[in-house]
Structure 1
Amino acid sequence: MSHNNVYLLNKNEVIDRVFAHIDNGTTDLGTSQWHEPVDNYTNESRYEKEIALLRQRPVVFCPSAAIPDAGSFISRTAAGTPLLVVRDNDLKVRAFINACRHRGMKVASGQGCKRTFSCPYHGWTYNLDGSLRGVPGEEAFPDLEKETAGLKELFAIERGGLVYVQQEGTPRLETLDTALNFFEPSQPLIHQSDTLDEANWKLLTETLLEGYHIKSLHRESFYPFGLDNVNVVESFGQNSRVVYPFKRIEKLRAVSPDDREIEGFATLVYHLFPNVSVSVLSKHTSVTVIEPLSPSRTQMFSYYIKHSAKNGVEISVEEAMRDVDFVNQSGQEEDRAAARDIQETVTTSANSHLTFGYYEKAIVSFHQQLQSEFGVA
């Protein structure tokens, strides 16, 4: 992947900083603490503000590899809106509100590949570009203007192998100035999954953004392989990158900087503000969209993409899937359980706020960005 004009440490700078932390017993630190009111994890009006934010800026919907061909589509709800995202016959990505212009029935469900979309209620049919193709008994609608009765189109754009959709307002293209090139067109989607949790979406996001909890929460899963509270944390625009080194990174001390690779020796987690994470592992990269359903309910959609060949050696799907399984077995379930547990306590009088310290730098940045978006001093 490439960083375009975004400044992030290169692989050797990251590796050297990790070694410095190991040698000195340190980690990257923030400069301020943050106190987040517990009401912000339960309050309906705050939730509505967050949904409005997700609708009014380009947000990652899926990786480009999830809709590779003409007619490939995904339909799901995002920020409370049923969406249909499809690649048209010219291979352009388009996004629509998934609602027939007759009586509002969804015209697609799930995902797949189609030449047209036909409403299951009365059979109104739409082309891949959203235009209205056919109406059974069209003579019964003398006032129908077919050229303006296509599916309601939304702003959609591809950047760096990701599909972004903005549902409302003038496209905030400036938020894409820091978009990174994560994927090459040849990289295939090998797996996808979704999970449902009784927890606020921010609690689930927070579990991804600090290594302070590795030894305590992941003692039997990730900690045998990973370093505890040793991280490299950077910000780019409203986004963050957190590097989680494996213990085997020590092997790179004996390798020439020209020959060192960080893949396989650390997990790189990119938080794409507000609600998407991209995790780069040894043989695959995952894209997870953290979709709020209510103040206390979240659905996460994860897409897994195989890495390209390294030094002419192709990575098999089986190897990449073992990489996927390792992640799922090395702490992901524990993170989700922690978020669910916290959701139960934020409704009590135990705490007026949650506290984030210097070790939780990326989480502090996340909440600072939310506060800035909402215009709170």
Structure 2
Amino acid sequence: MSKQQLIAMTHSLIEHAKAGTLEQTDSIVEIPASSYTDPELFEREKKQIFSRLPLMVAPSCELPEAGSYKAMTVAGVPLLLTRDREGKVGAFLNMCTHRGNPVALGEGKASRFVCGYHGWTFKNDGSLIGVASAEDFGPVDKATHCLKKFPVLERAGLIWATLDPNSTLDIEDFLCGYDEMLEHFGFANWHLFSKRTIKGPNWKTAYDGYLDFYHLPVLHANTFGADFFNRANYFAWGPHQRLTTPTVKHDKLGTNESMNLEDVPEKDWPIDALLAGVWTIYPHISIASFYGGSSRGALLSQLFPGDTVGESVTTQYYLMEREPTDQETIDGANQQFDFLKTVVEGEDYATGKRQHDALMSGLMENVLFGRNEGGGQAFHRWTERLVSASDAELKTIFSHQQAAEAAE
């Protein structure tokens, strides 16, 4: 069924391209400029969105084998991801249940974690298995002092976790069937080629750019080119979106290869043509396909709010369909990844920082999202709605949304 959805979307894009049209919203939308600059709203967003909603915390290939682990901090919460010997992923509060010291740092491979403060030991399934000098410390019920678990789901080669151990929001409901679409990338079997972390502007300013083709031939005239497309149609699954340009061609970004889809039978359309564009996972993930060294890859951008309203942090993952083994492919992938750093950090985020500094003057009341910027309009509607929703309302919103998506 999801493959047929991809094909139907592609037919829609072809028809719009032939007619010279795109799907537009009913009207231009105004967003208060203060939504980017208000520090109190920024703190509410971290609490109501990043501390309550499922977040895509890692691609599966970042924890490639049993014993793999990764420690990270998300919106002030220390998180530990592990893969146990059966291959199951766990998500835990990275705090020793003795005094709260993190039990793991960085990433690597381990079957157990020893706290560097007093030596308490935990298995990678979170269970407490050793209290240092237990006879001196006194009796401890190990079963009640395991690492605190977070809800976690591995699906479509991606790992989601909810940083509220008491959350009743089902992660599958939150995904609204979008995970079925993401399965077509095949990320479960992909290779993590490289990653890096870059700093950016306010998280919504940064995310606006992922939902915007309108700026491509202007801001990226020196990288993508001044004749690059600037139109996009938007497809939504709850708050998650795909945006892609109306076209009859499939261009392999990063190569000179192009295919006219009308010259190819539908059954022979390649999967990368069906997955063209930018796929966003609310509230902080962007996925776009590229080719480096003639090998299929994807830039997965993981965006988190920074310490202040004007800051964000993005981890860029360059995933590859196959692990490169020859130097030409490795060099090509490195060149593509470096090019994307220039585009995002040197152009998108540098512009976003200037934009944020200007908005901080307080002299602009509203910013505009045009009828051709439906993705940004939807993003801000969802953000405003979810920031205001209670925990009970949050669960209802997504259970109803999941039911509606399934019924279509």
TM-score (norm. length: structure 1): 0.87
Alpha-carbon shift at residue 209 of structure 1 (Å): 0.8
- Provide the rounded CA distance (Å) in 2 between the counterparts of 1:184 and 1:215: 30
2:359 paired residue among 346, 349, 352: 346
2:297 paired residue among 276, 284, 307: 284
Aligned to 1:92: 88
In 2, are the aligned partners of 1:36 and 1:353 still within 8 Å (CA)? yes
The amino acid across from 1:256 in the alignment is V
- Provide the rounded CA distance (Å) in 2 between the counterparts of 1:229 and 1:48: 33
Alpha-carbon shift at residue 18 of structure 1 (Å): 4.5
Q: 1:251 to 1:128 in 2, by over 3 A?
A: closer
- Provide the rounded CA distance (Å) in 1 between the counterparts of 2:5 and 2:236: 8
Q: 1:59 to 1:159 in 2, by over 3 A?
A: same
Give structure 2 stretches of 5+ with no counterpart. 252-257, 390-408
Cα displacement string for residues 227-249 of structure 1 (whole angstroms, at most 9, x for unaligned residues) = 33222321122111011579874
Aligned to 1:41: 36
- Provide the rounded CA distance (Å) in 2 between the counterparts of 1:269 and 1:93: 27
In 2, are the aligned partners of 1:99 and 1:151 still within 8 Å (CA)? yes
Structure 1 residues 180-195: aligned runs within 5 Å: 180=179, 181=183, 182-195=185-198
Structure 1 residues 22-37: aligned runs within 5 Å: 22-37=17-32
Q: Secondary structure at the match of 1:107?
A: coil
Q: 1:13 to 1:234 in 2, by over 3 A?
A: closer
More helix per residue: 2
Give structure 1 stretches of 5+ with no counterpart. 310-314
Aligned to 1:252: 260
- Provide the rounded CA distance (Å) in 2 between the counterparts of 1:349 and 1:330: 28
Cα displacement string for residues 250-291 of structure 1 (whole angstroms, at most 9, x for unaligned residues) = 741563234343737985211111111122234112222111
- Provide the rounded CA distance (Å) in 2 between the counterparts of 1:147 and 1:129: 12
The amino acid across from 1:170 in the alignment is S
Aligned to 2:313: 299
Q: Secondary structure at the match of 1:130?
A: coil
Asked if 1:336 is matched to 2:336, the reply is no
- Provide the rounded CA distance (Å) in 2 between the counterparts of 1:272 and 1:253: 27
Q: 1:262 to 1:67 in 2, by over 3 A?
A: closer
Aligned to 1:172: 169
Asked if 1:240 is matched to 2:238, the reply is no
The amino acid across from 2:202 in the alignment is N
In 1, are the aligned partners of 2:290 and 2:297 still within 8 Å (CA)? yes
Q: Secondary structure at the match of 1:281?
A: strand
Structure 1 residues 70-89: aligned runs within 5 Å: 70-89=66-85
- Provide the rounded CA distance (Å) in 2 between the counterparts of 1:122 and 1:360: 54
Using the aligned pairs only, state the percent identity.
27
The amino acid across from 1:176 in the alignment is L
Alpha-carbon shift at residue 316 of structure 1 (Å): 5.0
- Provide the rounded CA distance (Å) in 2 between the counterparts of 1:44 and 1:115: 41
Aligned to 1:312: none
- Provide the rounded CA distance (Å) in 2 between the counterparts of 1:253 and 1:215: 24
Structure 1 residues 99-118: aligned runs within 5 Å: 99-118=95-114
Alpha-carbon shift at residue 205 of structure 1 (Å): 0.3
Structure 1 residues 36-75: aligned runs within 5 Å: 36-52=31-47, 53-75=49-71
How much is the aligned-residue C-alpha RMSD, in angstroms? Answer: 2.7
Q: 1:25 to 1:329 in 2, by over 3 A?
A: farther
Aligned to 1:204: 206
Q: Secondary structure at the match of 1:70?
A: coil
In 2, are the aligned partners of 1:124 and 1:135 still within 8 Å (CA)? yes
Cα displacement string for residues 46-87 of structure 1 (whole angstroms, at most 9, x for unaligned residues) = 122211222212111011111011111111111220111111
In 2, are the aligned partners of 1:290 and 1:301 still within 8 Å (CA)? yes
The amino acid across from 2:242 in the alignment is R
Alpha-carbon shift at residue 372 of structure 1 (Å): 1.8
Q: 1:290 to 1:3 in 2, by over 3 A?
A: farther
The amino acid across from 1:237 in the alignment is G
The amino acid across from 2:285 in the alignment is V
Alpha-carbon shift at residue 45 of structure 1 (Å): 2.5
Q: 1:254 to 1:240 in 2, by over 3 A?
A: closer
TM-score (norm. length: structure 2): 0.81
